[in-house]
Structure 1
């Protein structure tokens, strides 16, 4: 495996991007609709600029950001190692006044997520981790190591904005489960912290939505799997950057 970037410097960069977001939040800002109907704000772009400047200084490899994702597959197919970033995950939550929006940065190697940072600026909390590395949470200058905790019946998280018929049918398999709705990649991190067990997602997501949270959860001993194959989510597989269905879990045995 290749060398990892300086973890502290990576965390500080993500936290600086978070401060850029909060500065925009303190004043009036414009919300623009993208071609796919999703919102984008000045906060998204401020964090994007911070990350695309700073990440190559940590590791001089390509950067794929949600706000600059029009990189042709002909070029991306030659990438064996790159940064994958969502400068503001949960823009709808940001616009609607919720606090569970995040900065997501992941290091991808050979299609596998190696390391990820999720920073929630309004919660003053940062998570970092990777499979075989471990996972940690920083809050108010306190750091603790994360390990998943499995409970039955499971504690299930679902997206605040997406609760479709397929998800509802899947939830019926767990009639005694507790259910909580929240936004962004915080859901992966809550499982990593031992506060939840399952997060199903059957509707479309993009690769930058999941990679950093997957790294944190895998570092804590959990998994993010495709429901039919049981394989972990992988990245930069082709021209499309859309994920298939997945389930984030404290233990895949819960799905059997």
Structure 2
């Protein structure tokens, strides 16, 4: 399969590192004009340079904005008012005992993980539907289905994203616009690397070895028995954004290594 996204414009939120950056590289490799996003100008510029190093000659630009607020989303829409592909990747996560999670933390997780996608889809999907083609991808998680007891605030937002994605797919019925969710499992992203750092140092392991031990102990249902790479997740995102994925919509596309113990999506 040769995915060709030339003449398509894609924005990937939260794409200065991890899965988002890998998705930006993958989309650029497929020929799309890619807009990367992060909170600071420095990180955005670094991400742009990274994409260009991976894909020489790529058409890539960047927009710095904090998408946890309506104002931040508005600044992105003003900078890029019309896109063909929207990848709602930005999000935060982290373990915390439920009884210690205050309202401000719940609100912060909801605003960034859910409302950023709501606001961007509300602003950018109508023109896709008018033009008769578009791709919207939300990054959910296997934690949307296997709610982690130590990250209930995170799992909750990822379940909400599944509902949002399915509903928007139905809203866009017959328009040529598809909306899907991608559900990674444990992945060697920058954030997960930070989480594994203490474990690796304590046990004298590499980050990769610590990741494998974490999966085997905390996600024993994993079939691949290791974290995925960010590129493995990005491959699914790029496919969902492709012309070839025209009959895939309203779907929960799992890239969880088989963690969710189910024979259906």
Q: Compute the TM-score of the two structures, normalised by the length of structure 1.
A: 0.29
Which is richer in helix?
A: 2
Which is richer in strand?
A: 1
